[in-house]
Structure formats: C-alpha cells, structure tokens
Amino acid sequence: MLAVTAAHSDVMGVWLAEEPNSYDAQVMRSRVSVERALRAHHQQHAGAAALEEAARQASLMMAHREPRDPVPWICLLALAQIDGRQVRREHREESAEPMLPSGPWGLLHGINQRDPYNREAYHRILQFILARPVPPAASLAAVFDFGRWVASWSPAGSPLLLLPLYALVEQCRQQSLQQRADPLWRRQWAQEPTITHTVKAFHHWFKQPDPAPRSVTDLHHLAYALWAGHRFVEAAEVFKAVGAYASREPWASVHEDPNHPDGGEALLLRARRESLSFAHTHALRAGPAR
C-alpha cells in the first residue's frame, strides 16, 4: 500500500538520499519500481520494458542481499504478469497440480519457503493467470481451479480460503467488461460448490479465535458471498466486524448496472441493511438464550 502511494512521488529519492545504505529504503524502492512498471504496462507506455527491467534488477539485488526476506520474491512474482506470453523460463514452470497451467510456480515456492501462505503472493498468481493471452473462458477456468485447489489445503485462519470467492467475482467482472451480464449469475452463490466454500471461509477464517489482522477487502468479499448465498445471519456478523470501513470491491464488480457510477455503493448499503435487519428479526424470534 505504501508503494502504491509512493509511486506517485519522489519520496523514495529523498529517503535514499538520507539513508543510502538502508535495506528498508532499498527494498521499498524495489516495491515502488514494480508498481511503476505495472502501471506503465497497463497503460501501454513506451518505457514499460525499461521500467520492468529496472524493477527486476532491483528486486534481484534485494533478494541476494537478504535471502530470508519474501518481499523481493513477491516483487518478482508481481512482475510476472507483465510477461503474459511467458517468455522468461521462470514464468512457465509446470505446476504440481495437473489442472493448472504453467506459470511462475518456482517463485511462489520461494515465497512459501520464506513466508508460508502469503496472501499477496497467491493473489499475484491470480493476476498472472488472468494476464495470459488466452481466451477469457480459459483464464477464468484456470482461476477457478487455482482458487479451489488452494482453498482445499489452506489452514484454518488463512485468508486464502477466500480465493474461490475472488474467482467468482472475477467472472462477473469479466462479463461486465464484455457487456454480457448473466441475470442468473447471483444464484451461483447459494448453490454448490460456492456456498460450501463461503461457509468454510466463514467458520475457518472469520470465526477463528484471536484472528490476525484482516483485510477489509477480504471481509467485504465474504460479506457479499454470505448475503448473496442467503446466509444473512452470518453476513450480519461480518458487516458488524467490518464496521464503517468500506471497500470498492467486490461491490463495484457485482452490482446489476455496470454503467451506474454508484451501483456498487448502493448494493453494499442494501446488502448491509438487509443482513442486519434479518439478523435482528431472527434474534427477536429466537428469544433470550437459555
């Protein structure tokens, strides 16, 4: 998050001028370089290739300087989505899971050795899969397979249990980009296997005692999945936990009218209101606990 903000300024130049030998400053420079390279690539900027190479070299240097730190490896994994055609050999390694396409699995393995179940790393893999120059249906199928595979072995308390939910939201987002929304799309959240993944994420991630700090976006994905899956009492719990903190996603991608600028906000408020109202009515009908 700091790197995304710093990429818009010269703050890294100032920091490095003050502390040229600081590892923290240098690894943050790698982060900022990656963000600038990704932005240039998405904007099809003429200097994107040079920015990618500079970010890659900075990340490799940091990985060599501190082999135990997963951040330089995450930087290299983030850059993999620029290489959608998998020109680099480390971006086309075979997966241990036969259903998954070739990709930067060695980089992911390197991150797992340093920080097992790193949330960002697995979301970076999702971005890589979607960036491949294959038909959208093939990318979405691979995203679903990846999300379900990871959720099948992720431990309790891990936000990776939500990856199948992210995959389904991505399906809706792709349909919106192609202007072919499916009016029956929301029904999938109340059907198998999606509802099983949602309930599992609720009990084995959200309801875990003494949870680690949780992403607001993860909480909103779970809240939406529970509401769309008609699990209103559980959805109300998540909405209460997230409090006043809003998230653009998944609401911006799943509301009915992609041309409405405030459609995501309206859907968020509706889902929250309906979930809390249903939970309140349910509690009244249940009466006092015995």
Residue 80 and residue 46 in contact, taking contact as beta carbons nearer than 8 Å: no
| pLDDT tens, the chain, 290 aa long | 888 888 888 888 898 999 999 999 999 999 999 999 999 999 999 999 999 999 999 999 999 999 999 999 999 999 999 998 899 999 999 998 988 999 999 999 999 999 999 999 999 999 999 988 888 888 889 999 999 999 999 999 999 999 999 999 988 887 766 555 566 678 889 999 999 999 999 999 999 987 778 999 999 999 999 999 999 999 999 999 999 999 999 999 888 766 666 778 999 999 999 999 998 888 878 766 54
How far are the Cα atoms of 54, 57, 115, 151, 285 from residue 64, in angstroms, in the given order?
Answer: 16, 11, 17, 32, 62
What's residue 138's pLDDT?
86
Residue carrying the six token digits 């209101």: 273
What's residue 257's pLDDT?
67
What's residue 186's pLDDT?
80
Closest CA to 150 of 118, 187, 111, 177: 118
What's residue 215's pLDDT?
93
What's residue 161's pLDDT?
97
How far are the Cα atoms of 27, 81, 132, 135, 236 from residue 33, in angstroms, in the given order?
Answer: 10, 15, 22, 30, 40
What's residue 9's pLDDT?
84
What's residue 137's pLDDT?
83
Which tokens belong to 64?
Answer: 């060599």
